[in-house]
């Protein structure tokens, strides 16, 4: 099948590469000429495990093309997948300017029937706006081509996006057009060989499903963080509580880890956008307001623990940070808990030495002008001259470190663990002061 993917961010690039790997002829459009040049030179603008070899082999096979040519992209695919960004506006709503611009570009150039699918995370009712933009462009040209607009939201996790696309747990298709539904079923057939994963539904239901999924996961995280903070005050251990409730099959273990708060490009933005949609519909979601407020507060918990141990004023102190990305297996620092912790430490007068195995380059750019933040090249190097260690991201290399080496490099054997990676009894036996999240006194 000839497929056009508009946008080469996390969603568009992963979708385009994986669809090409299944044998489709994929045209990836992006208006960022520098990004397209990088992709055509064999580079990858994002870190996503397993993605680079898929892109390279499908470019070499001629099944995957990157270009800034809008007219060529519209001419290429009967199926046009819109996968552009929807950044949050000042009021929390999703900014649809790029989605609607993509729709208008299709309308200006389409020379035959098309199916347009939104993969971007968009508010309920966006398909109607896309349909209106296309119709307006076609009317302005005085032509009458048939088109369908469907919702085909993505459910990809950063750090596991390739695996999620290749082996989806569900494929949501919001459509009121049989031909469009059949086309998308054909597109996803190679990815659901062992059993049917397609969930057909109305367009508006599909648009709401994406937001509902992310809001539910964010709610679980904030709920566990609230319980963790209570567990500390009650002398309970949130890890034991997690195992106790996760064993219930009605609850399960996924997204039940207490920590330093959620971040990234999806959960904070989507919670805010869904809340904005609810307010515009006259039915604000009180629960989501609490989810966001709890998360904002949780990002300050590590800083508060550090000040409780070392004093409110931290002038002359230096702290090591392990982990800068919002989660492991990505270089994405958007809304990361590390950013809040660094800001809290700097505001108290401290300096920071930080390490992340993947996000280091992004962090150096972000803190290029910050005199008291230094991003280093190894976990042990980050410890040099520091008063304590704070762990913010659950990278695998942090899970079983050389504790003797840590102890020898820190001014005091103190660890603040925002991801509950270690056994408190074990660290106490080794002479550490250990401050996890929600694990009793």
Q: How many other CB atoms are there within 10 angstroms of residue 364's CB atom?
A: 14
Phi then psi for residue 420, to 5 deg, are 50, 50
H or E, element range at 373: strand 373-375
Contact criterion met (CB below 8 Å) for 359 and 414 = no
Q: Which of 18, 28, 266, 386 is catalytic?
A: 266
Q: How many other CB atoms are there within 10 angstroms of residue 51's CB atom?
A: 19
The C-alpha torsion from 181 through 216 and 268 to 13, rounded to 10°, is: -30
**CA distance to 4, 8, 9, 77, 394, per residue, from 20 (Å):** 11, 14, 16, 13, 32
Q: Is 386 a catalytic residue?
A: no
Q: How many other CB atoms are there within 10 angstroms of residue 53's CB atom?
A: 12
3 state SS of 193 = coil
The closest alpha carbon to 174, from 195, 205, 196, 198, belongs to 205
Q: What one-character-per-residue DSSP string does 119-186 give?
A: -S---TTHHHHHHHHHHHHHHHHT----EEEEE----PPTTSHHHHHHS-S-EEEE-S-HHHHHHHHH
Catalogue the active-site residues: 266
């Amino acid at each position: 099948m000839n497929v056009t993917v508009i946008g080469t961010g996390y969603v568009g690039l992963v979708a385009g590469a994986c669809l090409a790997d299944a044998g489709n002829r994929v045209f990836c459009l992006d208006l960022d000429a520098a990004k397209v040049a990088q992709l055509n030179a064999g580079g990858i603008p994002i870190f996503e495990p397993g993605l680079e070899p898929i892109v390279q082999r499908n470019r070499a096979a001629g099944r995957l093309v990157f270009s800034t040519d809008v007219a060529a992209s519209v001419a290429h695919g009967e199926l046009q997948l819109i996968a552009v960004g929807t950044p949050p506006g000042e009021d929390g709503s999703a900014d649809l300017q790029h989605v609607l611009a993509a729709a208008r570009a299709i309308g200006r150039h389409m020379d035959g029937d098309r199916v347009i699918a939104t993969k971007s995370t968009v508010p309920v009712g966006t398909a109607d706006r896309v349909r209106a933009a296309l119709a307006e462009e076609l009317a302005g040209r005085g032509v009458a081509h048939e088109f369908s607009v469907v919702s085909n939201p993505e459910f990809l996790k950063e750090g596991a996006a390739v695996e999620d696309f290749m082996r989806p747990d569900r494929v949501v298709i919001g459509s009121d057009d049989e031909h469009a539904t059949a086309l998308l079923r054909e597109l996803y057939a190679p990815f659901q060989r062992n059993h049917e994963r397609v969930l057909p539904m109305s367009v508006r239901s599909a648009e709401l499903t994406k937001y509902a999924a992310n809001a539910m996961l964010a709610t679980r995280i904030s709920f566990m963080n609230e319980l963790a903070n209570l567990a500390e005050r009650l002398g309970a251990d949130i890890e034991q509580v997690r195992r106790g409730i996760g064993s219930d099959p009605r609850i399960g273990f996924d997204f039940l880890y207490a920590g330093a708060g959620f971040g990234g490009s999806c959960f904070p933005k989507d919670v805010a956008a869904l809340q904005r949609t609810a307010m515009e519909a006259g039915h604000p979601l009180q629960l989501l307001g609490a989810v966001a407020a709890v998360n904002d507060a949780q990002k300050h918990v590590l800083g508060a623990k550090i000040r409780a141990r070392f004093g409110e004023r931290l002038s002359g102190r230096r702290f090591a940070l392990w982990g800068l990305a919002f989660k492991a297996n990505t270089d994405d620092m958007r809304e990361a808990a590390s950013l809040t912790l660094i800001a809290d430490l700097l505001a108290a007068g401290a300096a920071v030495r930080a390490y992340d195995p993947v996000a280091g380059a992004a962090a150096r750019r972000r803190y290029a002008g910050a005199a008291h933040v230094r991003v280093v090249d190894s976990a042990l190097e980050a410890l040099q001259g520091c008063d304590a260690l704070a762990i913010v991201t659950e990278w695998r290399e942090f899970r079983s470190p050389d504790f003797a080496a840590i102890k020898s490099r820190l001014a005091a054997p103190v660890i603040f663990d925002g991801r509950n990676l270690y056994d408190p009894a074990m660290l106490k036996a080794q002479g550490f002061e250990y401050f996890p999240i929600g694990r009793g006194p």
